[in-house]
Structure 1
Amino acid sequence: MGIVLLLGIIIAVAASPSDGSLCRKCPKFWLQNGNKCYRFYASLKTWDEASKACSSCENSHGKLVSIGSEDENKFVSTLWQTYNNNPSASGYTYWIGLRRSGSTWRWCDKSPYRYKKWGAGEPNNSGGKENCVHQWKKNDNYLTWNDIPCDYMLPYVCEIPMEK
């Protein structure tokens, strides 16, 4: 029996791809989409607190989510809707990693700001203090963004590159 088990292990190792492509995975409690891993946190934090929480060692030194495509925007929205205990409670959904720097918008992971999904009339910098961005639930549309003050308390989504 031991020889059969040993032979099975040897065959499995020999048949494994050498580039490790099947060994890529997300840490426990994180979900994969493409080459990234995502995790929703229901605890309420300011944008700065959420950004700091995502970058902690406990969160694999991640970042607040940077959304680069319609597919990724839909995935993150679905993640929020799936794990949030009360998705109809508020129009303010969760922080994403986009923030105003002077007159430009920048992702906290420094990825290019190309894809945009602003709600109608946004960003509007109402009151001159709306420098952070959340994905907005407005008229049952979970897929648009809104600028709001960074000191609002919202849940958040972190992302990390997939482990090798």
Structure 2
Amino acid sequence: MVMLKTLGLVSIFAYFSLSAGEENRCSRYHYEEQILSKVVRLEHRLELLEDKVTNKTEISSQNPTCAQCPDMWIPFHGSCYRFVDEQLTYDNARSHCIVHEAHLVHVDTELENEFLSMYLRALKDASFWIGLADINTEGKFEWDGSSKAVSFDNWGPGQPDNAGGKEHCVHYYDQAKQNYKWNDHVCGRLFKSICEKRNSS
């Protein structure tokens, strides 16, 4: 706040300095009126800036999600996500997430799916493991470490197809022009992955 007020005083001084040359062309009264008007406008702008800073501080303290995710993790709706660049098998990707006290991502809603797709489009990478598989029972896809039913899906055309009877693990893939969809694939294939964990708030 002190910094903003100092900035305001510096700006006011600058206005006085820049306007000094007008004194010869304007009446003293008109000149002082102009300066007063500029000062009032600057004070008003300073008040608006102070309000914005105060509001941001209040919002941050009420909703500290951003501050609750570790470095390299991205916050979204109460969870933290990490896009793992190393190419791993499904099992190794799963273990990598567990080491970081997380799990391969569970995509529960369309909103969460759009958030993840947005990042994948920005990364411009093709394939990332998610925590969905039908390893235990063919055709019954379950989220890793959870018995909850799959409430949302984002399968690509004709998927899942269990090609060759060997595809049991699910990954995001770039279906066409960065339109990321799900596909079942051989679990031993090397892909990047997405880890997820709840934030600490």
TM-score by length of 2: 0.64
Is the counterpart of residue 124 in structure 1 residue 164 in structure 2? no
Do structure 1's residue 66 and structure 2's residue 106 form an aligned pair?
yes
Amino acid at match of 1:67: V
Which of 69, 93, 96 does residue 127 from structure 2 map onto? 93
- Paired residues for 1:96-115 under 5 Å: 96-100=130-134, 101-103=136-138, 104-110=140-146, 111-115=148-152
- How large is the RMSD of aligned CA atoms in angstroms? 2.2
Which consecutive segments of 4 or more residues in structure 1 shift more than 6 A?
none
**1: CA distance, partners of 2:167 / 2:145:** 20
| TM-score, normalised with respect to structure 1 | 0.77
Q: Going by fraction, where is strand more abundant, 1 or 2?
A: 1
Give the aligned partner of residue 11 of structure 1: none
The gaps in structure 1 that reach 5 residues or longer are: 1-15
* Greater C-alpha Rg: 2
Query: CA 1:102–1:66 in 2, change beyond 3 Å: closer, same or farther?
Result: same
Q: Calculate percent identity across the aligned residue pairs.
A: 30
Alpha-carbon distance, 1:140 to partner: 1.6
Could you say if the C-alpha distance between residues 41 and 63 of structure 1 is closer, same or farther in structure 2, counting changes exceeding 3 Å? Answer: same
Post-superposition offset of 1:28 = 1.3
Q: How does 1:1-164 map to 2 (within 5 A)?
A: 22-24=63-65, 25-56=68-99, 59=100, 61-82=101-122, 84=123, 87=124, 92-100=126-134, 101-103=136-138, 104-110=140-146, 111-164=148-201
